[in-house]
Chain A
Amino acid sequence: MIGIVSYGTYIPKYRIKVEEIAKIWGEDAESIKRGLNVYEKSVPDIDEDTATISVEAAREALKRCDICKDDIGAVFVGSESHPYAVKPTATIVGDALNLNGFFYAADLEFACKAGTAGIQNCIALVKSGMIRYGLAIGSDTSQGAPGDPLEYSASAGGSAFIIGENNVIAEVKDTLSFTTDTPDFWRREGQRYPSHGGRFTGEPAYFRHVLTAAKTIMQRNCLKADDFTYAVFHMPNGKFPVRVANQLGFKKEQIELGLVVRYIGNTYSASSLIGFSAVLDYAKPEDRILLTSFGSGAGSDAFIFEVTDEIHSIERNPKVWDKIKNCVYIDYGIYAKFRGKIKMR
């Protein structure tokens, strides 16, 4: 049986409210909150980045299970905000976990779905017998340009998964990807902030890819929405995942637990994975979970997981929702300082 052996998450403790950002740009906070269904977002501290967030999430995943670190044969870090353009975050993570150096390593990039791509890679390596355990991380400290609508949602967080064959808490029953060339969102080399195709980001990008991936994986496993306890979709805002869930026939109770976006924003590569972790925090044996990520550019990775009895054998505290509630609010000035929007020279 191949699947998740352990998981960990990290959400920076600072939050900024939509009201605080709207005030700076003279916009109406209420209509933005209604439009996005996002109320506040996480903000990393001045000394936090994708590498530090990845390490914290991975350390929690390791601490929660009882595996020998020398058996970790792969480290993949998926992000669109790697600290270096050239020099893998996975190298920093490997040393910060005090691994023994013998592991396959790569940084993955596919907008917001690079983390789930890492999980797929680990599943394949475990299945082929090339590694015993693999570590897949989705982590980001994303930024929108000041004044861009993205500034209300682009946030920071990380989620780490240990994939293996023994003591599996959630078995992977199936996974697939759907990929096309769709220019909905991009960032050219050397540019500080991303560009996006405005309205183009909805129908042809998010909805087409998420719906196709989710529908196909459900059909080929002969499963309907009713057969799942929970469903988690990528959360660029609080509206898209709810609409996509409706279209697929999921009810509110199936998606509510994983809808973390309203309080932490869009954590990009970590978005669907933090939602999935929030679901695992409360999952029971035999629960079936649908996870579908989305990455601009564009593509979706879909997974079907089944929770096992082993879920009771690992530590699941502190829970994602505890971390969401345990926060400190900051104003736009502090936010600008933390996010490097103040240039010293």
Chain B
Amino acid sequence: MLPRFWRKIKYRYNLIGSKCKNCETLYYPPRNICPKCRRRGEMEELELWDEGRVISYTIVHETSDDFKLNVPYIIALIKLENGVIITSQVVCNPSEIKIGMKVKPVFRKYGEDGEDGVIYYGTKFVPAD
């Protein structure tokens, strides 16, 4: 888990997508080549700090022992204002989650490898005020 997590740290800590300078299409997760423009395309990395809306969600009640204190938690499909769709945990009371709810990205703990292990961090979403 550790090496795989570490290689992607920048992308877990930040919402980074890529944009094709040629056709302006936004990709998330980021791509190296624009499938529309191929060689004519030129990709640039872009931070996506937009708010978004919940388009679908599920409430998780059962989980491994490591996450026992975290249940119930919500996993949602979120559509950002720029159109990008992301799967992420939404941190809020399960009775408050609604389709269409406005959410914003935040930096939170994902979990840890026990009391003496590495702590994993990344992006989650919370209700936008």
Q: Real complex partners, A and B?
A: yes
A246 at the interface (CB under 8 A from B): no
Q: Do B69 and A95 have beta carbons less than 8 Å apart?
A: no
**Residue A253, interface by CB 8 Å:** no
- Check if A96 sits within 8 Å of B70, measured CB to CB: no
Determine if B75 is an interface residue (Cβ-Cβ < 8 Å). no
Q: How far is the CB of B36 from chain A (nearest CB, A)?
A: 26
Contact (Cβ within 8 A) B9 A95:
yes
Q: Which among B49, B65, B70 is the interface contact of A47 at CB below 8 angstroms?
A: B70
Q: Which residues of A contact B49 (CB under 8 A)?
A: 63
Contact of B70 among A46, A49, A56, A95 (CB under 8 A): A46
B124 touches A46 (CB 8 A): no
A51: interface (CB < 8 Å): yes
Of B47, B65, B108, B124, which one neighbours A98 at CB under 8 angstroms?
B47
* Residues in B neighbouring A326, C-beta threshold 8 A: 129
CA gap between A96 and B121 in the complex, in Å? 9
On whether the beta carbons of A98 and B13 are closer than 8 Å, the reply is yes
Question: How far is it, in angstroms, between the C-alpha of A46 and the C-alpha of B66 when the chains are bound?
Answer: 13
Residues of B within 8 A of A52 (CB): 106-109, 121
Q: Is A291 engaged at the interface, CB distance under 8 Å to the other chain?
A: no
Closest-CB distance, A257 to chain B (whole angstroms):
22
> Among A84, A95, A96, A342, which residue has the most Cβ atoms of chain B within 10 A?
A96
- Indicate whether A84 sits within 8 Å of B107 (C-beta atoms), given known contacts A45-B91, A98-B16, A326-B129: no
Interface band, chain A: 20 to 34
**Contact bitstring A46-89, B, C-beta under 8 A = 1, else 0:** 11110110011001000100000000000000000001100000
Instruction: Please state if A95 and B124 are interface contacts (CB–CB under 8 Å).
Output: no
Q: Which among A56, A59, A63, A337 is the interface contact of B69 at CB below 8 angstroms?
A: A337
B14 at interface, CB cutoff 8 A: yes
A-chain residues with CB within 8 Å of residue B39 when the two chains form the complex: none
| Cα of A73 to Cα of B91 in the assembled complex, Å | 33
Task: State whether the Cβ of A222 lies closer than 8 Å to any Cβ in chain B.
Answer: no
Chain B residues within 8 Å of A98, by CB: 10, 13-14, 16, 47
B119 within 8 A of A: yes
Residues of B within 8 A of A96 (CB): 13-14, 107, 121
Q: Mark B1-28, 1 if CB is under 8 A from A, else 0.
A: 0000000011001101000000000000
B61 to chain A, nearest CB (A): 16
Contact between chains at B108 and A47 (CB < 8 Å): yes
Interface string of B21-55 (1 = CB under 8 A from A): 00000000000000000000000000101000000
Are the CB atoms of A56 and B13 closer together than 8 Å?
no
**Residue of A whose beta carbon sits closest to that of B70:** A46
Closest A residue to B124 by CB, please name it. A47
User: Is there an interface contact between A344 and B121, defined as CB atoms closer than 8 Å?
Assistant: no
Whether A92 touches B121, Cβ cut-off 8 Å, given contacts A47-B108, A52-B109, A98-B14, is yes
Q: Are B106 and A56 in contact (CB under 8 A)?
A: yes
Q: How far is the CB of B51 from chain A (nearest CB, A)?
A: 13
Nearest CB on A from B121, distance (A): 6
The 9 listed contacts between A and B (C-beta, < 8 Å) are A48-B108, A51-B109, A56-B106, A63-B49, A92-B121, A95-B9, A98-B14, A344-B65, A344-B68
| 10 cross-chain pairs, A with B, having the tightest CB-CB distances, nearest first | A47-B109, A55-B107, A96-B13, A47-B108, A98-B14, A52-B107, A95-B13, A96-B107, A52-B108, A83-B119
- Residues on B lying within 8 angstroms of A by beta carbon are 9-10, 13-14, 16, 47, 49, 65, 68-70, 91, 106-110, 119, 121, 124, 129
Mark A residues whose CB is within 8 Å of B.
45-49, 51-52, 55-56, 59, 63, 83-84, 92, 95-96, 98, 318, 326, 337, 342, 344
